[in-house]
Structure 1
Amino acid sequence: MAEEKIKPPWWLKPMNKVFMAVLKLGVPIGGDNGPVVLTVTGRSTGKPRPVPVTPMTVDGARYVVGGFPGADWVRNARANPEATYTQNRRSRPVRLVEMSVEQARPLLRQFPTLVPTGVSFIRNAGLVTEGSPDEFEALAGRCAVFRIDPAG
């Protein structure tokens, strides 16, 4: 069975580039709970592939949700979980650990509360209609959830 892949909106790549430029300038957005740049290695090119993401903290651990099933950065992270986490011009190596469906369910349930800016994004992708915790929990197995661990 082929992996589900949802085509992102046309404006996502240009918006991501603008967003990353703003973050590189060191403009604080959202404080410690705001967006960061996660750089993963391209699975076929081997080149660094930066993507803006908004992590959430649950019980002291940081997590990130792949907003689209089959997103390139998710596929890259699965192929090579070593990544770079950049926030406020500070970068550090991390390891992305994908959560099982069972582990992802309670984390996805908290997503609408912890990352409210992500709700409209996922709603616009057609993955949820209202953005309720139940709808997000039901995305387990469709949208990847990674724990962000220190590298090493």
Structure 2
Amino acid sequence: MSDPRLTIGPPPWLKGMNEELARTGVPLDVLTAPGRRTGLPRSTPVTVAEIDGRRYLVGGFPAADWIKNVRAAGRATLTRHGGEPEPVRLVEVGPEEALPVLRAWPSITPDGVSMMVDAGVVTGPTPDELAEAVGICPVFRVEGDV
């Protein structure tokens, strides 16, 4: 039986909040990937973690469309804080590489982790509780020079 947390998507209000942040000029990192059905560009704000010289994205809501789009395309563009779009390849990593990223996630984006807790993806905001999400919340290594 699969874990029911795999079906949890972002809260419905998150898209509107992200649009408002962008409209008010808050600098966001934005991932743009081709839609898996239409091929049209689909953008979403993301948090980029930099750990040991590598960049990572965490799929905090396992059923989010951006995760499905990235898995289908394997490529995207990443625009950091309103700068120039960078073509990237996103590689979904295994548990061994994902674990330290998930353990660091509460200190990288405490607000994001609070949303994950509220949605039932994780049981609490500690590194140990995030570590329990290995295999549930996908972790992607961001590779440049595509």
Q: Deviations over 1:20-76 (max 9, x none)?
A: 334xx4x44xxxxxx400001100110101000111110011111011112110011
- DSSP-derived class of the 2:7 partner: coil
Who is 2:39 aligned against?
46
Which residue, 77, 82, 104 being the options, matches 1:89?
82
How far apart, in 1, do the equivalents of 2:144 and 2:129 lie?
Answer: 30
2:15 pairs with 1:13: yes
TM-score, structure 2 normalization = 0.88
- C-alpha RMSD of the superposition: 1.8
1:2 to partner: Cα distance? 6.8
Q: Specify the code of the residue in structure 2 equivalent to 1:67.
A: G
How far apart, in 1, do the equivalents of 2:9 and 2:82 lie?
Answer: 30
Q: Specify the code of the residue in structure 1 equivalent to 2:68.
A: R
Count of residues in correspondence between the two structures: 143
Who is 1:145 aligned against?
139
Q: Provide closer, same or farther for how the CA distance between residues 2 and 47 of structure 1 changes in structure 2, counting only shifts above 3 A.
A: farther
Gaps of 5+ in 2: none
> Quick check: 121-130 or 89-98, which moved more?
121-130
Q: Runs in 1 of length 4+ with deviation above 4 angstroms? A: none
Who is 1:32 aligned against?
none
Which residue, 101, 111, 126 being the options, matches 2:105?
111
TM-score, structure 1 normalization = 0.85
Q: Specify the code of the residue in structure 2 equivalent to 1:75.
A: K
